[in-house]
A and B are shown apart, each in its own frame.
Chain A
Amino acid sequence: MTARWPALVAAFLLSAGSASAQSPEPVAVTVTDRGCEPAALTVPAGKSVFKISNKSRRVLEWEILQGTMIVEERENIIPGFVQSLSATLQPGSYEMTCGLLSNPKGTLTVTAASAAAPGAPDPMALVGPLAAYKLYVMGEVEAFHSRTAAFVAAVKAGRIAEAKTLYPQARRHYERIEPVASLFNDLDKSMDVRADDFEKKDADPGFIGFHRLEKGLWADNSTEGLSAHADRLLADATELKRRIADLTIPPARMVGGAAGLIEEVAATKISGEEDRYSRTDLWDFHANVEGSRKIFDLLRPLVASRDPDFVARTEKNFSRVETLLAKYRTEDGGFAPYDSLSDRDRNALKGPITVLAEDLSTLRGKLGLD
C-alpha cells in the first residue's frame, strides 16, 4: 500500500503540470441557501475553471454530475469561501449540485465549440456545404480525368502542340480541388512532384508525373521516352477519381482548404517554381483561387450572420486578386506566360494574396473546427 504514495505524488505533479499550462477565463457560480446563481451555465468543451462562492450558511460540496456519476467535485467549501475547481469536460448536458439536497440542481451545458467561437454553429450546419462541396469535387475530378486522358493521348501520339495546350487545362481541375486531392499523398506525389524534390533534379529516374511530361514537352521539345510516364499519370488520375467517389470529405479539410489553397500560392507558387518549363503558373494560381472561392461561397451563409465584416472584407480581397489575375488573361481564355510578368507585377500579386490567405486562415476557428 505504501507503494501507492509515490504513484500518487507523480499523478498529482503530472496533473499539476497540465493545470498550470493554460487557464481559461473562470466561470463564477454563487451558491446560496436556495440554489445556484446562475442556475444554468454554458461553457465550451475542454478545460473550464469554476469559481464557486459559498454564500449559503452551510458547508458545501459542489459537484458536476452526469446522472448519478460525479464528474468533478470540490469538497469542504465553507460559508464565505471561494474555491476554484478546474474540469476538462466533454460536450453534453450536466447537472451541478447547489447546496442543500432539497435545492434544485443547476444545469451545465458543455458545447462542442472552442472558446474563441461563442455561438459557433452546430456541426450539422456544415452538412449542407459539405454535400455541395463533394458534388463540386466530383465534377472537377471527372473533368480532370477526361482532360488528363486527352493530354496523355496527345503525348503518346507525339502531338506536342496539342499536348502543350492541354497541359494547363488538365491541371486546372486538379489545382481547384487540391485540398481534397492532396489527402491522397501517394497520388499527389506521383502526379504533381517537382524536380527539386529529387537528388538529380530533372534527370532523376524517379521524377515522374505532370512536371516530368512538362519538362519533356517544353525543355526537350520531344515526347521521346514519355509514354510510360503518360500511362502512369492516367492510371493515377483514374485511381484518384475512384478514391474520391468513396471519400467522405473531412469538414476541417474543406474549411481549412480555403486558406490552404491561397497560402500555397503565397508561399511557393508566387516564385514561379511550379511550372518552370511551361510558364503556365498563372493557370494554376487562378485555379487555386477558384477552388478557394468555391469553398468560401459555400460557407458564406454560415459565417455571414456571425461576422459580416469578415465576409465583406474577404469578398473584397477575392475581387482584388481576381481583378489582378484578369489583367493577364489571353483572348483564348488562358493566361499569359508567367515569365512575361515583371518583378513588380509579381509583387503586386503577392500583397493581396497574402492578406487573403491570412483572413481565410481564421475560417476554421470561426466555424469551431480548431
Chain B
Amino acid sequence: MLIAFLIMLREGLEAALIVGIIAGYLAQTGRRAWMPAVWGGVVLAAALCLALGLGLQAIGAEFPQKQQELAEGLIALMAAGMLCTMVFWMRKAARSVRAELHGAVDHALERNGKAKDGKVRGGLALAVMAFLAVGREGLESVFFLLATVQQDVGWGVPVGALLGIALSVGIGIALAKGAVRIDLRRFFRWTGVFILFVTAGLLASALKAFHEAGLWNHLQATAFDLGHVLPADTVLGTLLTGIFGYQEAPAWGEVLVYLGFLVPALWAFLAGARPAPAVQPRHA
C-alpha cells in the first residue's frame, strides 16, 4: 500500500506543483478569471489519459513506453522553458513591486504582454501548461492504476495509489492557497527559487526520458548510487523526487544538466537582489 501510495504521490506531485504555482500566480496577480482555463486544461488532460488508458486496456494492448518517454521528454523541455521565462519575468516584476501595489503588477503584466491579446495568449499558455503538466504524468499513472486494480493484490494497493493522488492534489491546492497569503514580493522570490529547482529537475528528467526513448545515449555512467542510503521509493525520497527531481542513482548527464542549469540560473535570479533567502542547495 505504501509503495503504491508513494508512486502515485510522486507521479502527481510534479503536476500538482506546477498547477499550484500557476494558480497561486494567477491569484496573486488578480487574474483569477483565468482559473477556469487552467482547470479546463487539468480536466482535459486527466480525461484524455483516462480514456486512452481504458481504450488501450479494452483492446488488450500494451503501453508503448518509447513514445511515452519521447512525449514526456518534449513536454518536460517545454515546461522547463515556460517556467524559466515565468521566473525571470517575476524577478523583473518583483523589482517594480518593491515600489508598490498590485496595480503596478497589473501594469507590468500588461506591458509585458504588450497588448490585450498578448495577455490572452499569456493566459492560454498557462492553461496549456496545466494541461501538459497533468498529461505528462497522467498516462503512466493511468496504466499503473489499471494494473493495480487488475492484479489480485488486495485492496490496499489501489487505495494507496488513490491516496497518493489525493495527497498530491492537496499539496498543489495548499501551495496555491499558501501563495495567496504571502505578499507578492516574497511570493515571487520564494516561488522563483523554488521553480528554478523544479525546472532543473524537469531538464534532468527530460534528458532521462530522451535516453529511455532511445534518442540520447551519452554520459550514461552512474554518477553516484544512493539506492541504499535514500531510496526513491521511501517517503522522503518520493518527496525529493517530486519536488527537486531527486534520482537515487542519476547518470552523469542528468547531474550535469541539473547543476548546469540550476547554478547559473540561481545566481542570475538572486544576483543584485537583497540577501538571498535561506535556500539549502539540496540538489540531487
Contacts and interface: CB of A to CB of B under 8 A. Distances in A.
Interface of A: 1-2, 4-5, 8-9, 11-13, 15-17, 19-20, 58-59, 67-76, 78-86, 100-102
B65 A19 contact: no
Contacts of A67: 217
Contacts of B228: 102
Interface in B48-104: 48, 52, 55-56, 59-67, 71, 74-75, 78
12 contacts: A1-B75, A2-B128, A8-B67, A13-B61, A17-B61, A59-B233, A68-B211, A70-B212, A71-B214, A78-B4, A83-B147, A85-B62
B151 interface: yes
A86 B52 contact: no
B106 interface: no
Contacts of B128: 1-2
Contacts, number: 89
Interface of B: 3-4, 7, 48, 52, 55-56, 59-67, 71, 74-75, 78, 128, 131-132, 135, 140, 144, 147, 151, 153, 157, 211-212, 214, 217, 220, 222, 225, 227-228, 231-233, 249
B56 A76 contact: no
Contacts of B151: 81-82
A307 B231 CA distance: 53
B59 A20 contact: yes
A100 B232 CA distance: 12
Contact of A101 (B60, B64, B220, B225): B225
Given A2-B131, A59-B232, A70-B214, 20 more contacts: A2-B128, A12-B64, A13-B61, A15-B64, A16-B56, A17-B59, A19-B61, A20-B60, A67-B217, A70-B211, A76-B7, A78-B157, A80-B153, A81-B147, A81-B153, A82-B151, A84-B62, A100-B227, A102-B225, A102-B227
A75 B231 CA distance: 16
B7 A78 contact: yes
B164 to A, nearest CB: 12
Nearest to B226: A101
A70 B65 CA distance: 11
Contacts of A84: 62
Contacts of B214: 69-71
Contacts of A11: 64, 67
Nearest to A60: B233
A20 B249 contact: no
Contact of B61 (A16, A58, A73): A16
